[in-house]
Every structure is written in C-alpha cells, then in structure tokens.
Amino acid sequence: MLNCAGKKISLATPVVMGILNITPDSFYDGGSFLTIINQLKQVEKMISEGAAIIDIGAMSTRPGAIPVDEEQEIARLLPSLAAIRGHFSEVVISVDTYRSIVAKAAIEHGSMMINDIYGGRFDGEMFDLVARHNIPYILMHMQGTPDNMQINPHYKDVVREVMEYFQSRLALLPSGFNQVILDPGFGFGKTVENNFRLLHQFELFRSFGLPLLAGLSRKSMINRVLQIKPQEALNGTTVLNTIALLKGANILRVHDVKEAIEAIRLVGTFGQ
C-alpha cells in the first residue's frame, strides 16, 4: 500500500503509471504535449484507460539529453501541475525530477510522489525532502548521467551491481522512511544484454520487500532487437511488460495505458 499524501494506492494488483512528457525532446513523444490543453486531453485519456498514477516529466532524460536549468524545469512544470490537479483532483501525480528544489515546488503544488532517476545521488537534499513529506519515492539505478550513460556502459555483473546499489542507497534513507519503490533503470546506462539480464532476473529485486517498478515502454532494448523505431514498439512493450508482471512488477510505467491494463488483467487471470 502506498500512501500518496493521504491518497491510498493498493499494490495487491499491479497498477499503471502513465507517462506525460511536457518536453520538446523526449525520445518518443517529445513535443506532443507542450500546451496545457493537449496535456489535459492526454491525462484524461490515460485516466479513462485505467492509469492510477500520472508521471509528469518537465526535462528529458533520454540518452544524450542536455539538462535544462532548474528555473526552466519549474517554469514548465508548475502550470501543468496546477492545471492537472485542478481538473483531476483524485489522480495521484508523480513528478519525474532529480532536483530537490523542483521536487519541493512540485509537492507544494500537488505532487504526491517523486520519481528520481539519480536515486538521490545528484541532490543530497532529496532523501530528507521526501521523508519529511512521507510521500512515495521511486529510487532508480542509472550508470553515468543522461548525456553519457549510453557511451559504453560496463558491468561485471549487472544484476549484482544494481542490487548492491539499492542496498547502499537504502541505507542512507532517513530512519523510519519506507515509502520507496525500486526501479532498476532499464535503458539508463545499460546495454541491450544488460537490460535483458535485469529483466530475466527481475524477481530477485523482490528480496528488498519493496514495490518494484518496470519502465520498459518503447525503449531501445525493444527497438534494437526488432530493428524498429519507438513508434513501432507497442507490441514489444506489451511483451516485456508481461514478462515483468510475471516476475513481480507492481507498477508499469508506460506511454500506452490501455495495453498495459490489459496485460495486467490477463496475467492476473492466468495466475488465478
């Protein structure tokens, strides 16, 4: 059970986090949702299809992405956050940021969850912030930074090293704070082989006793194997989401909510 600023989300059945990129340069849908009206239409669609969480990103973290400054990130984020909160008061809103100043502004304007690709390594204030507000925090693994993470990523044992990373980061969280979701970071400083090894052994991360998030949607681990573009990767996404569910994923972070919900329903029926 996640307590999102008083809004409870049960994870007895996996849930879907719908992606809303309000950026011009995200790898799949960059530039599609720059206006408030388009953002609201997309959020309405994702909620109607079954999304329990909407994850807003105001800065692209695709491979090779150059970060914008925190003022620009906040300037993009807050009008969208206010509009979405005003129109969809019941939905849980997550904000995808690794800066505590952005996270603080987001929480003050209605965000109920923080999704941090750096797992607190970029900003030492992040752990204290989320613990103080006691909101769910997605702790992701990434080797390198978005601008260099896909330049020759290397591991001796990717699963073991991601496990050790989680152990080390969790040890630094404020005492008593346990609203943590683990994300192994598919596509963030990993080769195709690394990504599939993580997915193959995904169930090992259940040993932490924390919810697991799988972010596989339309990523290069699909596109490179099938030799397709992200726009053609919906079927591949559903296949990998299904594998992740069978291996214990609690949250699917996706661009396409309807298909993810269908995967959850079918896997749930299969497991009865």
Active-site positions read 219, 253
Residue type, 259: E
Residue type, 45: K
Could you give the angle at the alpha carbon of 221 between the alpha carbons of 68 and 156, nearest 5°? 90
| Adjacent-strand bridge partners of 182 | 139, 212
| Exposure on the CB side of residue 19, measured as CA atoms within 13 A | 22
Contact criterion met (CB below 8 Å) for 190 and 143: yes
| Adjacent-strand bridge partners of 8 | 3
